[in-house]
Structure 1
Amino acid sequence: MTEGRVQRRLTTILAADVVGYSRLMELDEAGTMAQLRARRHDVVMPAVARQGGRIFKVMGDGVLIEFTSVVNAVECAIELQKAMQAQNTGLPVHQHILLRIGINLGDVIVEGSDLYGDGVNLAARLESLAEPGGICVSGDVYRQVRSKLQMQFQDMGEQKVKNIVGPVHAYRVQAEDAAPASAESPEIHRSASTLPNKPSIAVLPFTNMSNDPDQDYFADGMVEDIITALSRFNQLFVIARNSSFTYKGRAVDVRQVARELGVRFVLEGSVRRAGSRVRITGQLIDAATGAHLWADRFDGDLEDVFELQDKITGSVVGAIEPTLRKAEIERARRRPVENLDAYDLYLRALPHVYAFRPDENLMGLKLLQKAIDLEPTYALALAFAAWCHEQRLVRGWPPVGQDDAGTAIALARRAISAGSDDAMALAAAGFVLVMVARDYDAGLDAVRRASELNPGSGFVEFLSSTALLFGGDPEGALIRAERAMVLSPMDPGAFMFLAIAGIAHLYAGRPEQALELGKRSAALNPNWDSAYWLLIPAYVQLDRMEDARAALAKLVALSPGLTVSGARQRLPIRNPASLEMVLEGFRKAGLPE
């Protein structure tokens, strides 16, 4: 080899890091160091040796390992997580040691026994995306092992990571026998009630069979209504709309979809609308066997659309859970909208409302207002219109009227009055009353009723969690935020779930956990200002002032002219201590009064 020439090789890098290392060291420096040395000797080194790996770098809170086999690297990661969990058994929760692991297959620079370069850096970045007790791998690793190992992978999509040019496609490993962090772990605080222990189903976006591509909204609306109807049954676990819709427009393998979403059943179908006639087809597939449990076609006029939806829902429920009594299905039917033109306008508005952009929001608001004009007691249109106003007020978008706050509050109260049995309307309206009116009693009563009516809705759980958070119940908010994540594991809005869960930890006095979730939220969406409302006070509480000032600079760039007094007006935090803690964090980081 020519002298001075850089030596490279293609290899697999595993990066592992201890979660909450600073917290552990602060609690018991000597004891933590002794535990880490013991774990490295008793767990890490034997597992690496068994899988043919080589440890080439050890840091205080982490380790870098090289493997010639991608399969061996992933198997080692699974073994490490299982062994670390076993070692935590019997220890107090605050002494649990958890790992995050990232794995990448890439080109590296060889210098003696050490390795450098993007191949190593990307493994470290993937590790930071992993859950406590979890494993995250690159797309190259996924393609190498997906057909060789008996495990499931959750597609995390394109991720933008620090110091890596271009987005990185990442996957979360979901090995059946490698459970993530203990349910008792302070890093997770996961309630057992959030985990699916019942028949589980995902409803994929239906194909628009109409000649007019502009009818996509109608097919999407059908699916959203079917998901809402199915999620009313406590006996079913239903994946939320936002996760199901990540497959829109894609040719998919049903079994792969089921593995990625963690469900057994998949419902797919099509909608054809021609004039006043509608045809809806559906087929229910058992992904474990590939068997078609049920398939049917439903024809009718637009006036029959709600009856057609109910027939599909009843057929699916009966096929999955035949013990459900007919009376339960009847009880789950919702009151149809009297004016179908109003319903059509509501369906057209939904994609604009979910876009979270000022121009789209305005388009959605105009459509919803037309629906309300046609049917003044249409609870969902009223609630979503109120939510549109809330988005504009909280995000600081240009006003649409002289009193947007008053309009939002009035619409929310009308929605609650008209939709006392509609969980989605109650959740959105109650959320608005908390965030805009600061009427915590009425708002929290509405979101709690929404959760009771439909505990299987990811949408309901997310808005309820946010309302509870600002309404003074961070622990209740955390349970619902985590349940929303379980119900919608591939939600494009996962950054919002993480931020809400992180703020709940912050208000409950757990800044270390809050910081971890806030960093993950900001990594998924650097322009989501709520992540920095969390990061700044968390950094201040942990005495990381340089990081706090950097986070404040990002927040001010997103919200020019922000002041402490302005933050006080914008934040509807019911608990005075939580509010002052956040504002004091802003002051110490350098935000002017």
Structure 2
Amino acid sequence: MNWIKGRTGSESSVGLTPSINSYTSFAPDISMTSAGSEKKSVAILPFQNLSGDAASSFYEFALADAVITELAQIRSIIVRPSSVIAKYQGKDVNPRDTGKDLRVHAVLSAGFIRSGDKLRVTAQLLDVVTGDILWSDRIDAEGSDILTLQDAIAQRILEGLRLELTDLEAEKLGKHATDNAEAWEEYLRGRDNFGRFIFRTIDAEDCDAAMANFKRAIELDPHFALAYSGLGACYANRVFKGLGEPEDYTYAEAAFSKAFFYDQNVVEARVLMVMIYLARSEKKKARSEIELLEKQFPNDAALYFVKGVLHRLDGKYEQ
């Protein structure tokens, strides 16, 4: 879910990072679980298009975004949001240096080659502190197996960080948002266009393209909650970015309602509904939903941005 363009807590700490040559003094941000153990943090960099096929470029951001969204469901790990990693798309960066800048324990870097209906992904998970490769693998998939490929990458990251899932978390990771491969590809195209809109261009054409992708995904799978959420996010962000009209909030809410009908826990839709509540001066509703979201999704970066907006409206600037 990653619609916020403003700075997050993880971004704000960049200025405190030591020189990239002093790895021995580097330490990732520390966060603790409720049981008192340290949470591991990871950054998923945009995938590199090794084939140079322009028609496949949407995978660069969208695959990373999908893995981020999947891992964000795990309480014992902190994943840097797509709003943070979007700036690295299309750039040749040093994964360890980037991980150090983002103050994380580990970084996933990956490249892909698409040939016809086949996709080959080469990925590695790097320990930012030691420079050790925690795992490296090549994963092949056909168009109908992209979801399985994403699951495999997420699972290997968890294994590399030696994290064990609860039964509920394992169930969430094993659940696919749609079984329609074509709908999922349209959704990924939508996430790419949407990410370009909010993180790079603020161009209405990119937003319109994303909306067309999400609508097509919904046509292919009318039960696809994430596609409804993406569509609602487009409507809402048109207003947030100064390009839409107040009625776009109504369209967004209608799309989010459909998302909730099929999946009550689509975090993107729930967080954006809080922003709509605040836009309507419904702070009581917003506050109540934020409290629920903090309990259910404590690692969601956009949630804390929205919480900060509420504090600002309340005049609690120090919070």
Q: Is the shorter-chain TM-score for this pair beyond 0.5, marking a shared fold?
A: yes
Change (3 A) 1:374 1:451: farther
Distance 1:398 1:326 in 2: 42
**Paired AA for residue 408 in structure 1:** A
Change (3 A) 1:372 1:288: same
SS across alignment from 1:391: helix
Quote the offset at 1:315 in angstroms.
1.7
Tell whether 2:289 aligns with 1:455: no
Number of the residue aligned with 1:292: 133
Report which stretch shifted further, 202-211 or 419-428: 419-428
Tell whether 2:254 aligns with 1:413: no
Change (3 A) 1:201 1:385: same
Number of the residue aligned with 1:504: 311
User: Please, which of 214, 220, 227 is the counterpart of residue 381 of structure 1?
Assistant: 227
TM-score (norm 1): 0.44
Number of the residue aligned with 2:97: 256
Gaps of 5+ in 1: 1-130, 153-173, 177-190, 467-476, 479-499, 515-593
Quote the offset at 1:339 in angstroms.
2.4
Change (3 A) 1:146 1:265: closer
Distance 2:234 2:211 in 1: 6
- Equivalences, count: 301
**Paired AA for residue 409 in structure 1:** E
Quote the offset at 1:413 in angstroms.
1.0
Quote the offset at 1:414 in angstroms.
0.9
Distance 1:408 1:353 in 2: 14
TM-score (norm 2): 0.77
Distance 1:414 1:443 in 2: 20
Distance 2:151 2:280 in 1: 36
SS across alignment from 1:280: strand
Distance 1:432 1:505 in 2: 13
Cα distance per residue 1:270-293 (max 9 Å; x no partner): 222222222222211112222222
Change (3 A) 1:412 1:448: farther
**Paired AA for residue 256 in structure 2:** A
Native 8 Å contact 1:206 1:268 kept in 2: yes
Quote the offset at 1:260 in angstroms.
0.9
Native 8 Å contact 1:228 1:457 kept in 2: no
Change (3 A) 1:211 1:382: same
Native 8 Å contact 1:415 1:426 kept in 2: no
Q: CA RMSD in A?
A: 3.8
Distance 1:215 1:237 in 2: 29
Number of the residue aligned with 1:268: 109
Change (3 A) 1:450 1:332: farther
Distance 1:272 1:445 in 2: 46
How is 1:53-202 mapped onto 2 (pairs within 5 angstroms)?
147=21, 151=25, 197-202=38-43
Native 8 Å contact 2:124 2:135 kept in 1: yes
SS across alignment from 1:201: strand
Native 8 Å contact 2:120 2:140 kept in 1: yes
Number of the residue aligned with 2:54: 213
Tell whether 2:231 aligns with 1:390: no
SS across alignment from 1:218: helix
Distance 2:293 2:250 in 1: 23
Distance 1:316 1:395 in 2: 34
Change (3 A) 1:438 1:302: farther
Change (3 A) 1:437 1:338: farther
SS across alignment from 2:51: coil
Distance 2:28 2:149 in 1: 39
User: Please, which of 256, 274, 293 is the counterpart of residue 431 of structure 1?
Assistant: 274
Change (3 A) 1:445 1:365: farther
Distance 2:126 2:316 in 1: 46
Tell whether 2:68 aligns with 1:227: yes
Distance 2:120 2:194 in 1: 27
Distance 2:188 2:172 in 1: 24
Identical-residue share of aligned pairs (%): 22
How is 1:454-493 mapped onto 2 (pairs within 5 angstroms)?
454-459=297-302, 461-462=303-304, 465-466=305-306, 477-478=307-308
Distance 1:322 1:433 in 2: 36
Report which stretch shifted further, 330-339 or 301-310: 330-339
Native 8 Å contact 2:41 2:79 kept in 1: yes
Gaps of 5+ in 2: 1-11
Distance 1:246 1:426 in 2: 25
Distance 1:326 1:506 in 2: 39
Quote the offset at 1:219 in angstroms.
3.2
Distance 1:323 1:146 in 2: 31
Distance 1:340 1:385 in 2: 19
Number of the residue aligned with 1:332: 173
Of the two structures, which has the highest relative contact order with CA contacts closer than 8 Å and spacing of 6 or more?
2
Number of the residue aligned with 1:422: 266
SS across alignment from 1:295: strand
Quote the offset at 1:450 in angstroms.
4.7
